[in-house]
């Protein structure tokens, strides 16, 4: 069984930093966590990728092609769709298929507890309503991956009621579209000021009535669409569909707690064999001495 996280979120939400942090934490904990870069527009990241989509296709390939001539957004979507269409390349790299035989499954290696983070591009449409993200997840599951979607939202963006409701609806859309066990993360908590950090408590365990007060009273638009905002707020509160977990990459305990939560979601390590320590049987003389001791008592 393999395990994986699909690390998603808007551009600039800290996906690559999250992957690098988890990889370093795993190294310190004597645990191998591989990272796959699936962002064809990436230029720099702090981790060493186990696999890089840019070896297959880059964003410039889609933008500079005479027939395609995509813009940045359309180019990113095209690259992920191209990856799915050429899934054999991804399977060969992930699963170690090196055979040219018709039955490719004979060449698949299945290391125990293989753990991979997939660093996804920041084109949020891939996860909110397009089929590409869901199709990629189904492919990985067919290759024996047990997955969890991790959706990152910049905590600096979620410091007022209107933005919080917007981020919450985006997270809810991703949860519905990806059809995977899901964890929402408020990233960049280490960059918040003390004042804003104190305000975040009400968003980690949100009170829809309090947030709606902020949304509907701050602007003419909020007052005009008060009923719509109330309906959204009630949906969030009544069904408890979305909750966020804060992440401060400078707090090792926080990082460890988040990784443990995700491990529990995907049941990482539950298939591992129980380690049993074997003891040598006692010598006959020792057994006789013990029996004499109890007889004397």
Domain definitions of the chain by residue range: 2-96+111-266
CA atoms of 198 and 210, how far apart (whole Å): 16
Residue 99 is predicted with a pLDDT of 40
Residue 98 is predicted with a pLDDT of 47
Cβ–Cβ under 8 Å, residues 189 and 155:
yes
State phi, psi for 52 to the nearest 5 degrees.
-130, 120
Residue 239 is predicted with a pLDDT of 66
Residues in the chain: 297
**Token output for 43:** 């230029």
2-96+111-266: CATH topology is Rossmann fold (3.40.50)
CA atoms of 258 and 253, how far apart (whole Å): 9
Residue 69 is predicted with a pLDDT of 80
Residue 196 is predicted with a pLDDT of 73
List the strands of the sheet with 51-52, edge to edge: 51-52, 34-37, 114-119, 2-8, 145-154, 182-187, 244-246
Mean pLDDT split into 10-residue runs, the chain, 297 residues? 94 94 94 94 88 93 83 90 94 70 47 85 91 95 95 83 81 92 92 75 65 65 76 74 89 96 90 56 60 58
């Amino acid at each position: 069984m393999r395990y994986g996280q699909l690390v998603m979120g808007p551009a600039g939400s800290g996906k690559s930093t999250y992957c690098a942090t988890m990889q370093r934490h795993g190294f310190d904990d004597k645990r191998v966590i591989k990272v796959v870069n699936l962002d064809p527009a990436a230029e720099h990241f702090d981790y060493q990728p186990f696999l890089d989509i840019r070896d297959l296709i880059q964003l410039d390939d889609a933008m500079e092609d005479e027939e395609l001539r995509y813009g940045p957004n359309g180019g990113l979507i095209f690259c992920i769709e191209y990856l799915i269409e050429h899934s054999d390349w991804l399977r060969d790299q992930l699963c170690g298929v090196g055979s040219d035989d018709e039955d490719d499954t004979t060449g698949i290696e299945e290391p125990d507890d293989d753990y991979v983070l997939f660093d996804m591009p920041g084109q949020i449409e891939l996860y909110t309503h397009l089929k590409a993200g869901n199709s990629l997840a189904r492919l990985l599951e067919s290759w024996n991956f047990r997955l969890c979607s991790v959706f990152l939202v910049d905590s600096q963006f979620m410091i007022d009621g209107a933005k919080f409701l917007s981020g919450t609806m985006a997270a809810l859309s991703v949860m519905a579209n990806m059809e995977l066990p899901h964890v929402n993360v408020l990233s960049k908590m280490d960059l918040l000021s003390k004042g804003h950090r104190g305000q975040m408590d009400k968003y980690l365990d949100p009170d829809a009535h309090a947030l709606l007060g902020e949304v509907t009273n701050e602007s003419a638009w909020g007052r005009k669409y008060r009923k719509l905002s109330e309906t959204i707020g009630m949906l969030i509160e009544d069904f408890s569909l979305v909750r966020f977990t804060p992440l401060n990459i400078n707090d090792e305990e926080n990082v460890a707690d988040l990784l443990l939560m995700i491990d529990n979601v995907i049941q990482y390590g539950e298939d591992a064999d129980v380690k049993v320590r074997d003891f040598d049987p006692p010598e006959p003389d020792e057994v006789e001495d013990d029996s004499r001791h109890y007889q004397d008592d």
